[in-house]
Structure 1
Amino acid sequence: MNHRFIYILLGISILFSSCKKKDEAIAPTVTTTDVTEITQNTVKSGGTITSNGGAEIKSYGVCWSTNHNPTIDDNKTSQYTDLFIVTATGLTANTTYYLRAYATNSVGTGYGNEVSFTTLAAVLPVVKSVYPASITQTTAQCGGEVTSDGGAPITRGVCWNTSENPTTANSKTTDGTGVGVFTSSLIGLTASTTYYVRAYATNIAGTAYSDVMMVRTMQGTVTDIDGNVYKTVIIGTQEWMAENLKVTHYRNGDPITNITDNTQWINNRTQGAWCSYNNDAANKNIYGLLYNYYTIADSRGICPIGWHVPSDAEWNILISYLGGVNIAGYKMKKAGDRIDADNSSGFTALLGGARDYDFGTFYALKSLAQWWSSTGDQYNAWSRYINSTEKSVHRDGPLNYAGISIRCIKDN
């Protein structure tokens, strides 16, 4: 009887043992490794899975937040390889974050220890200029390329001024955000004007600028009574014709006398007159016409409406602005063979020669440029001249019946 009872108990014990459930699975356990390679926007970290919790690991990575105890509901990376080293991206510069490794199985997510770090402070962006194009009298297209945002969001564009080293306190455009190439449209410019332009990019660290580029807008124009169209140029506070006058009528439409004969030219002491160099009409289109002073003294006016022949004082203003008599000629002359010039002013002086007041003969084509002023008397008037081999500008007072060029200046 006792043996039977023992066998029964043993059978029950075996039955209960065989029905006992396996150990239940739990969330994984994981440790977080220290962060490395901290930048303004990224950091590297990872972890070690110390237990899978009795179930297959489905995903693991790191999660982070600006608050303590981040979870996978915050920012996270997912990793599906054996190498548990990941890069957290999209961070904000100079910000403290909290980070934990995590691992997820079918039961849930386990988190490692929390580590904290602060991203690097933003630095200035890096930007370079894109060369200007499509320049008109009042507009230009420029741009830039942001090659680094410095670790923070940026705004970008170009700024410009008529003085060197423009800043965003001057005229500017705003052309989007982020790194890469951008295009800017400059509007409201003045014709025949040099502007200094540079690209900029701004983030929380400040504003960075590219190298300065020079942009010169196209010349303006003015039309005389004959319909001749002249380019104009702004030099300092003055606007000048950038070509010699070639009109054959006074402003009211009355004709100006054309005198070709040498003797008639020097014997004419009262009447306005014009001629082309060597009486060759082809020279008119290149160099303009030559006039005596009487055309200027005539009350009917020779320049277009709103323009006049410059006074001696106005010539002085121009020459002073260009650096004085010793260098102004270099900046006024159009460069060419055997001509020492750079025409940086845009005045574009061509060496159109003159007509002599002693014999009425023509001389110094391609060697001399000379222009009347309106300042004179019954015998002489002041003029300015330059030649091909000198950088200077000279002041001279020829007799009124000399034949020289005219440049008009815009009224104030």
Structure 2
Amino acid sequence: MKTTLLTLSILLSSLAQLSAQEMTGVFFDPRDGKEYETIFIEVELEGGATVMKEWLGQNLNYAMEDGSYCYNNYEEYCDTFGRLYHWKAALKACPAGWHLPNDLEISVLTKKHGGTKSAGASFKEGGESGLNLIMAGFGEADGTFIDVGVNGYYWKKSEGSDSPGLLTIHNGVDYFTDESIDASHRNSVRCVRD
């Protein structure tokens, strides 16, 4: 009886810790068999409603015939940082049942982590959000690559618009920038489950 009560007590304690933290999972991309860590993030919506969203916890590394690149064209960069995609490829890169993050998903996550002036620190590798966005750099249409280890550039989709959006995290600062960008740039992709 004492063993059962001790086991139950440990289980309840573990569950309480899980509810206080974000939960993690694993996703196997059926297209190429690659394994990705995922993070389940609960966010509060207007009026106090909450929703749980599952995000890839790693940059997408799905090789597309057209529009995906390894930094400096070295496969080893893809193994570490994931692939970089131009906008048209990014729109199709996420596996079935997943999508590029949209403005609302970025906005509620930003609000949860202190706003644009401080949420960047939480979004970065090792940050409180669990997203672990990394400084994967970006590529230009002319084939040059810039900023690996310095900044991370992530595609996002604006609701009701085909214009490419970009979330940029910066090394050494807590803020992030959110802007529009030329569709020919080659940036990282993080997917969110539908």
Please tell me the TM-score bracket, short chain as reference: 0.7 to 0.9
The DSSP-based 3-state class of the residue aligned with 1:185 is helix
The question of 1:185 aligning with 2:185 is answered: no
Deviation at 1:185, TM superposition (A): 2.1
Specify whether residues 371 and 216 from structure 1 end up closer, same or farther in structure 2 by C-alpha distance, changes over 3 A only.
closer
- 1:175-214 CA-partner distances (Å, limit 9, x unpaired): 26xxxx996224996xxx8434xxxxxxxxxxxxxxxxxx
Distance 1:231 1:239 in 2: 10
Number of the residue aligned with 1:62: none
AA aligned to 2:55 is W
Distance 2:83 2:19 in 1: 33
Distance 2:134 2:173 in 1: 14
Distance 1:220 1:182 in 2: 24
Deviation at 1:313, TM superposition (A): 2.3
Number of the residue aligned with 1:247: 62
% identical aligned pairs: 26
Deviation at 1:302, TM superposition (A): 2.1
The question of 1:228 aligning with 2:34 is answered: yes
Distance 1:348 1:309 in 2: 16
Distance 1:330 1:283 in 2: 23
- 1:271-322 CA-partner distances (Å, limit 9, x unpaired): xx0110011100111100000001134xxx3212221111122221221222
Distance 2:14 2:62 in 1: 32
The counterpart of 1:393, out of the listed 151, 176, 184, is 176
Q: How does 1:294-309 map to 2 (within 5 A)?
A: 294-297=88-91, 301-309=92-100
- For structure 1, the residue ranges without an aligned partner over 5 or more in a row are 1-155, 157-173, 197-214, 250-255, 258-272, 335-341
* Larger relative contact order (CA 8 Å, sep ≥ 6): 2
Number of the residue aligned with 1:326: 117
| Matched-pair contact (CA < 8 Å) for 1:296–1:374 | no
- 1:68-113 CA-partner distances (Å, limit 9, x unpaired): xxxxxxxxxxxxxxxxxxxxxxxxxxxxxxxxxxxxxxxxxxxxxx
Number of the residue aligned with 2:131: 347
Specify whether residues 235 and 356 from structure 1 end up closer, same or farther in structure 2 by C-alpha distance, changes over 3 A only.
same
The TM-score normalised by the length of structure 1 is 0.40
Distance 2:184 2:129 in 1: 30
AA aligned to 1:195 is S
Q: How does 1:33-48 map to 2 (within 5 A)?
A: none
Tell me which protein shows more strand as a share of its residues: 1
Distance 2:96 2:8 in 1: 43
Larger Rg, first or second structure (1 or 2): 1
Specify whether residues 325 and 183 from structure 1 end up closer, same or farther in structure 2 by C-alpha distance, changes over 3 A only.
same
The DSSP-based 3-state class of the residue aligned with 2:109 is helix
Q: How does 1:362-401 map to 2 (within 5 A)?
A: 362-375=145-158, 376-377=161-162, 380-401=163-184
Specify whether residues 279 and 195 from structure 1 end up closer, same or farther in structure 2 by C-alpha distance, changes over 3 A only.
same
CA-based RMSD of the aligned residues comes to: 2.8
The counterpart of 2:70, out of the listed 251, 271, 276, is 276
Distance 2:174 2:135 in 1: 13
The DSSP-based 3-state class of the residue aligned with 1:175 is helix
Number of the residue aligned with 1:317: 108
- 1:325-378 CA-partner distances (Å, limit 9, x unpaired): 1111111111xxxxxxx4111111110000124x4310000011111112353x
| Matched-pair contact (CA < 8 Å) for 1:194–1:216 | yes
The counterpart of 2:83, out of the listed 283, 286, 289, is 289
Number of the residue aligned with 1:175: 5
Q: Which runs of 4+ in 1 moved over 4 A?
A: 186-189
Aligned length: 181
The DSSP-based 3-state class of the residue aligned with 2:36 is strand
The counterpart of 1:195, out of the listed 19, 29, 35, is 19
AA aligned to 1:247 is Y
| Matched-pair contact (CA < 8 Å) for 2:90–2:189 | no
- 1:40-59 CA-partner distances (Å, limit 9, x unpaired): xxxxxxxxxxxxxxxxxxxx
- For structure 2, the residue ranges without an aligned partner over 5 or more in a row are 43-51
